[in-house]
């Protein structure tokens, strides 16, 4: 490139948690002089707006499912000639199609879904599931230190102040609950436990989630009692939700995208795991406390069924979540370092 800044187009994953896990990769690329433009679906785009190393975010008009060839070809024409390199983070064929149609000279990604002709630089998918940060960071081509990186998100302090002022909240004056989990109920700590926890805490709980989780959050708020919860599920733009997480005293969540957001902001947190495993997707945060009965030597009988990675408990009892008590979460909050 003759000393000029390299221009790179990053095709983002479709889930918030995965998007957070890509931040160390983008930090590496920016540090070596690449100018970064990220193409992302609308519900993921705010994650990249909280990454200072990203110069521009292009929101894709795509929906779940389907190739949507015409829409991809249209965007490819708009970006053609702008980039030297494309990093294709998802493993699907359709995600690799746009950079190919845009004739971006160097196209980097993992092998998958017959993408051999669409990518110019292909990495083999690892046999054993590596930590997600290392999986994405390997696309940089760097060697070593990939697993030590921790995602970091940043917001303009004025954004945080504005979000708090809009809702009449004070920094550190509330907890955040994220009781949802897109994958299914086998990843969700029971609503009644969240309600009992809200009643026991010394500050109100702000409930965050998507519109799909509004009823779940309403159930928690109703069971907790008047004045204990502020239900904002489906009512806040994602960047405003990020601001509320960043300013919270602590966050309590399931294994979800917002769990990874809290970790990237360095917020004290308790992460409750059930059907999934913190060995693969833990909150990468020195202030995080992970609760997983599979690794509790005092829990009897042992959970031989965990992790099952199912949407619903195949045995019908969901002991892995129901047996984590609110008192256990409160104790874990006491072990989490103060902000």
Residue 216 reports pLDDT greater than 80: yes
The verdict on 282 and 231 lying in the same domain is yes
Decide if 1 is inside a domain.
no
321 vs 291: CA distance, rounded Å: 9
Do residues 103 and 58 share a domain? yes
pLDDT digits (tens, 9 = 90+) for 236-268: 999 999 999 999 999 999 999 999 999 999 999
- Output the pLDDT for position 1: 38
pLDDT per residue as tens digits for the range 84-118: 999 999 999 999 999 999 999 999 999 876 788 89
Q: Are 185 and 324 in a shared domain? A: yes
* Domain endpoint, select from 148, 178, 195: 148
Domain boundary among 116, 148, 180: 148
Number of domains in the chain: 2
- How far, in Å, CA of 122 to CA of 159, rounded? 39
Which of these three, 148, 170, 195, is where a domain ends? 148
Q: Which residue has the tokens 């195949």?
A: 314
Q: Are residues 315 and 172 in the same domain?
A: yes
Q: Are residues 118 and 229 in the same domain?
A: no
Q: Report pLDDT for 63.
A: 76
The tokens of 317 are what? Answer: 């009892």
DSSP run (H or E) holding 107: strand 106-110
Query: Based on the domain organization, do 330 and 189 belong to the same domain?
Result: yes
> Domain check: are 166 and 306 in the same one?
yes
For residue 70, the enclosing domain spans 6-148
Find the range with the poorest average confidence among 144-153, 244-253, 297-306.
144-153
C-alpha to C-alpha distance for 126 and 30, rounded to whole angstroms: 25
pLDDT band of 2, cuts 50, 70, 90: very low
Q: Is position 58 within any domain? A: yes
Same domain for 171 and 304? yes
The more confident residue out of 189 and 66 is 189
Q: Write the CB contacts of 330 (distance below 8 Å, at least 6 apart in sequence).
A: 197, 200, 201
Q: What is the Cα–Cα distance from 216 to 232, expressed in whole angstroms? A: 11
Domain presence at residue 83: yes
- Contacts of residue 186, defined as CB under 8 A and 6 or more positions apart, other chains included, come to 274, 275, 308, 310, 311, 312, 313, 318, 321
Written as one string, the DSSP assignment of 221-290 is HHHH-TTSEEE-TTTS-HHHHHHHHHTSSEEEEESSHHHHHHHHTT--EEEE-SSS-TTTS----TTEEE
Distance CA 336, CA 339 (A): 9
Q: What is the pLDDT of residue 4?
A: 63
Q: Are residues 121 and 173 in the same domain?
A: no
Say yes or no: 292 and 227 in one domain.
yes
Is residue 118 domain-resident?
Answer: yes
- CA-based nearest residue to 17, from 245, 142, 181, 240: 181
User: What percentage of the chain exceeds 90 in pLDDT?
Assistant: 80
Angle 254-258-261 from CA coordinates, rounded to 5°: 130
In this structure, the answer to whether residues 194 and 75 fall within a common structural domain is no
Asked, for residue 297, whether it belongs to a domain, the answer is yes
Whether the per-residue pLDDT at 160 is higher than 50: the answer is yes
List the CATH number of the domain containing 189: 3.40.50.2000
Q: Are residues 284 and 223 in the same domain?
A: yes
Q: Which residue, 250, 238, 264, is CA-closest to 204?
A: 250
The alpha carbon of residue 256 and the mean position of all alpha carbons in its chain are separated, in whole angstroms, by: 7
């Amino acid at each position: 490139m003759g000393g000029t800044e390299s221009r790179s187009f990053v095709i983002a994953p479709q889930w918030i948690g995965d998007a957070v896990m890509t931040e160390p990769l983008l930090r590496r690329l920016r540090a070596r002089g690449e100018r970064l433009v990220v193409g992302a679906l609308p519900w993921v785009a705010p994650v990249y707006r909280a990454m200072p190393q990203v110069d521009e975010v292009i929101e894709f008009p795509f929906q779940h499912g389907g190739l949507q060839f015409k829409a991809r070809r249209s965007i490819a024409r708009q970006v053609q000639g702008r980039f030297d390199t494309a990093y294709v983070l998802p493993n699907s064929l359709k995600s690799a199609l746009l950079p190919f149609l845009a004739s971006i000279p160097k196209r980097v990604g993992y092998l998958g879904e017959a993408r051999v002709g669409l990518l110019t630089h292909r990495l083999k998918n690892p046999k054993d599931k590596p930590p997600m940060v290392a999986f994405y960071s390997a696309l940089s081509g760097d060697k070593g230190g990939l697993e030590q990186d921790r995602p970091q998100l940043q917001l303009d302090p004025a954004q945080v102040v504005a979000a708090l002022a809009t809702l009449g909240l004070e920094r550190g004056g509330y907890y955040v609950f994220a009781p949802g989990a897109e994958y299914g109920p086998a990843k969700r700590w029971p609503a009644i436990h969240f309600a009992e926890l809200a009643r026991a805490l010394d500050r109100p709980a702000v409930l965050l989630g998507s519109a799909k989780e509004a009823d779940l959050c309403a159930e928690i708020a109703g069971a907790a009692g008047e004045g204990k919860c502020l239900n904002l599920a489906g009512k806040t733009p994602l960047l405003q939700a990020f601001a509320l997480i960043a300013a919270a005293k602590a966050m309590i969540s399931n294994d979800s995208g917002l769990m990874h957001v809290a970790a990237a902001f360095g917020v004290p947190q308790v992460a409750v795991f059930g059907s999934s495993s913190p060995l693969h997707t833990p909150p990468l945060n020195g202030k995080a406390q992970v609760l997983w009965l599979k690794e509790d030597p005092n829990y009897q009988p042992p959970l031989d069924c965990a992790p099952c990675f199912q949407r619903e408990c195949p045995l019908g009892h969901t002991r892995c979540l129901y047996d984590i008590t609110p008192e256990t979460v409160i104790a874990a909050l006491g072990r989490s370092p103060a902000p």
